[in-house]
Amino acid sequence: MAAVEEIIDKLKGLTLLEAADLVKQIEETFGVSAAAPAGGMMMMAPGAAAPAEEVEEQTEFSAVLDDVPADKKIAILKVVRTITGLGLKEAKDLVEAAPKALKEGVAKAEAEDIKKQIEDVGGKVSVK
């Protein structure tokens, strides 16, 4: 009985991704499936947990310009023009409209690079 309690305690400490990996490995090792039967809804015992679903990892991010201090506006404007390729007027409008997305649908590394560039000149950027 102590072994079962120890396993339950370890399961409680798993993250969702770890739990999904555990389910996958159990399915492969024992040749079973955690999926519900196609015949209809499966009745669950009270207190029983549903099988963990795999969480899709986010692959596209947006770099959002959150704050532009007035004394750093020109430096931020130059970096925004470099990052976006916009003309002076368009970049100025974007900077003045903060919070505003600088780039959307980019890789995490690129979004983090944009964040670093803007923060290096005094602005605030969030990666979403």
Residue 99: asked if its preceding bond is cis (omega within 30°), the reply is: yes
Q: Do 95 and 65 touch, CB atoms closer than 8 A?
A: yes
- Whether the pLDDT of residue 58 is over 60: the answer is yes
pLDDT band for position 43 (50/70/90)?
A: low
Q: Which residues pair with 67 in a beta bridge?
A: 124
62: its two tokens = 């947006």
Task: Give the CA-trace dihedral at 85, 91, 97, 98, to 10 degrees.
Answer: 60
d(CA 1, CA 121) in angstroms, rounded, equals 60
Each domain of the chain, given as residue ranges in start order, spans 1-57, 61-127
**Second CATH level (architecture) for the domain 61-127:** 2-Layer Sandwich (3.30)
pLDDT band for position 44 (50/70/90)?
A: low
The percent of residues in the chain predicted with pLDDT above 90, rounded, is 0
Q: Do 50 and 44 touch, CB atoms closer than 8 A?
A: yes
Indicate the burial class of 49 (C-beta count within 10 angstroms; 0-12, 13-18, 19 or more): exposed
Q: What pLDDT score does 50 carry?
A: 52
For residue 98, which of 126, 66, 63 has the smallest C-alpha distance?
66
